[in-house]
Structure 1
Amino acid sequence: MKNEVRQWALFTSITGIISIGCYFLAILIPLKGFFWHLNSFSIGVLLGVSLFGLSKIFTQSIFSIVGGLLSLLGGIFMSYMLILQHGLSAYNNSGSSSNGIQAFNYIQLSTDIAFDFFIGIGLIFLCVQMIREGKIWLIVGLIGFVLQPMQIVFNLITFPINPHEKGLLDIGPFAALWLVMIYLLSGRVYLNKK
């Protein structure tokens, strides 16, 4: 069992750090073509599986199980949303008529909210488990317990438009930095469970 926890901790750290690296690469460096698609489409998959892995290093409870599953679904929605966004961008760049583009844009915006909602609820469950784990996880869990409900509430207030487009704080970069803390702590679990 101890070896399985170590494997999940290593998996969580690696996939999590890569997902956050892809996220910041996507918002900071304009990529094109194949590399743009590969980077963007990887973010949700890696985020979802890393948070599912996080649920496996904690004491198994309803909070860790539900949190892991909802976070995995959130990662799936994120990938779906990014694929829709890339499709919309390709359509816009093709010179085709714009009939239906506004409707399609609202579909992808709604999918973005679905991602935030599933990942936010999943992370709230994982935060409850972090708080129950105690020690440094308590502090990290409390930080997330503030960030994630803010993300959900802001999204519900401005639905279907993204909160930052309506002048509200974009929680995404703060959540990404919070996730880096989690992934580094997961690496610590891997190193300490020898």
Structure 2
Amino acid sequence: MDHRVYSQFKKLFLYGGIAGVLSVISYLCIITVSLNPALTFVGVMLFSILGIISWYALHILLKGDMDDHLSVIGFYMGALAFLVLAVFLAAQIAIQAGFEDSFIKELSVDPNTSRLVQRAVRLIDMGLDVVWDMFIGTSFLCYAIVMRRHPYFGWIWTLPFGLLAILLIVLNAATFPWPPSEMGLFDVGPFCGLFMIAIHVRMIGIAIRMNKRSAPEADH
């Protein structure tokens, strides 16, 4: 492999891994820290945009002669998932920010009526949230299958990744439109986030390992 191309791969995996870690951290911040609407919106955009970048880097890392198409499907499913999430969370933030100022103060709407309308609108959010789960779960499953034969991953990564994908899809479909946690079922979301961080840290490690090799010895 040409040294210049090899160097580009190293940078892609390194920056993609860093983008993935920062993406998940951004999401954790917006769900655990009370921020103003503008900062919350920025956090959502960072999560989605950095997530797509990291998912592309993972696709390039995983693709091979036999599983190339499956890796492509996994990337597109993941990119669509991040796009859906960005759209519905941005709409959710805008609605929540505008309700108190416009709907209650300016229109003098009763707070109870406002809460009722917000709950109705929230059902739209929950429906789109399940769409995110379906697409990202399918992406997980595609990548998990490709990982089984990859020298840097293998079955030790495929099994938990595939299990999380199946649980994410099945549980959210079974409790639609309500989140599994509200129906007394197991919420795999936090574990998916942790596993995504683990994968991206692994990517950073792969890039560092490649940096210690010469181009002819590379696996890519």
- Fold equivalence (TM over 0.5): yes
**Higher mean C-alpha displacement, 95-104 vs 30-39:** 95-104
- Determine the C-alpha separation between the residues in 2 that align with 1:32 and 1:69: 32
Query: Which amino acid in 2 is paired with 1:142?
Result: L
Partner of 1:175: 192
- Alignment partner of 1:20 out of 10, 21, 24: 24
Query: Which amino acid in 1 is paired with 2:202?
Result: L
How do 1:87-126 residues align onto structure 2 when only pairs under 5 Å count?
A: 87-94=94-101, 95=104, 97=109, 98=114, 101-126=118-143
Partner of 2:61: 57
**Runs of 4+ that moved beyond 3 A:** 96-103, 134-137
RMSD of aligned residue pairs (Cα, Å):
1.9
1:41 touches 1:79 (CA, 8 Å); kept in 2?
yes
Shift of 1:43: 1.4
Q: Which structure has the bigger radius of gyration?
A: 2
**Higher mean C-alpha displacement, 178-187 vs 80-89:** 80-89
- Determine the C-alpha separation between the residues in 2 that align with 1:111 and 1:33: 20
1:120 touches 1:149 (CA, 8 Å); kept in 2?
yes
Shift of 1:122: 0.9
Shift of 1:58: 1.7
- Determine the C-alpha separation between the residues in 2 that align with 1:90 and 1:28: 18
Unaligned segments of structure 2, at least 5 residues? 212-220
TM-score (norm 2): 0.81
2:133 touches 2:169 (CA, 8 Å); kept in 1?
yes
Point out which structure has higher relative CO (alpha carbons under 8 A, 6+ apart). 2
Shift of 1:10: 1.4
**Higher mean C-alpha displacement, 85-94 vs 116-125:** 85-94
Unaligned segments of structure 1, at least 5 residues? none
Query: Which amino acid in 2 is paired with 1:8?
Result: L
